[in-house]
């Protein structure tokens, strides 16, 4: 691995770790006692997991070519994180677990994985002669 690709790999790994910390903190801050559900809440969940799935795909792509089984594993990993996130929210004041939030998380993870896969198909390593990280 060349120095620029090592730097990109470390950058993607660090960005993914930071992103996980941010979404975990955002979902575990004490609530204000007013139920914050609705459509905007679901859009936030969906968007957060689109981003998470894209970053997870980027992490895996730094080390190997991703095929259907790895894409499925990435969705399963994001879904597992989503259920853990929902369940641990019950430990925070004025927070609850919402199965619809988790379902939205899973849909976001599927969408993010499909977006990444489409990007790799259109612009990936075979298209420009470079590996996944450069």
pLDDT in tens, 97-123: 999 999 999 999 999 999 999 999 998
Residue 119 belongs to a domain: yes
Closest CA to 57 of 101, 121, 1, 130: 121
Residue 54 belongs to a domain: yes
Single pTM value for the model = 0.85
Residue 63 belongs to a domain: yes
Residue 133 belongs to a domain: no
Residue 134 belongs to a domain: no
pLDDT in tens, 50-62: 999 999 999 999 9
Q: How confident is the model at residue 40 (pLDDT cuts 50, 70, 90)?
A: confident
Range of the domain at 41: 3-124
Residue 11 belongs to a domain: yes
Tell me how many domains the chain contains.
Answer: 1
Helix axes 3-28, 39-61, angle to 10 degrees: 150
Residue 40 belongs to a domain: yes
Residue 83 belongs to a domain: yes
Q: Contact, 56 vs 78, CB < 8 A?
A: yes
């Amino acid at each position: 691995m060349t120095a620029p690709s090592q730097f990109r790999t470390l950058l993607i790994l660090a960005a993914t770790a930071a992103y996980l910390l941010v979404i975990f903190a955002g979902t575990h801050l004490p609530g204000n006692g007013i139920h914050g559900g609705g459509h905007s809440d679901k859009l936030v969940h969906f968007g957060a997991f689109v981003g998470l799935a894209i970053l997870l795909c980027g992490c895996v792509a730094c080390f190997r070519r991703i095929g259907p089984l790895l894409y499925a594993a990435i969705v399963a990993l994001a879904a597992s994180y989503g259920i853990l996130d929902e369940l641990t929210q019950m430990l925070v004041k004025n927070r609850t677990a919402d199965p619809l939030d988790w379902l939205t998380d899973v849909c976001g993870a599927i969408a993010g994985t499909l977006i990444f896969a489409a990007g790799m198909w259109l612009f990936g390593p075979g298209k420009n002669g470079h590996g996944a990280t450069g």
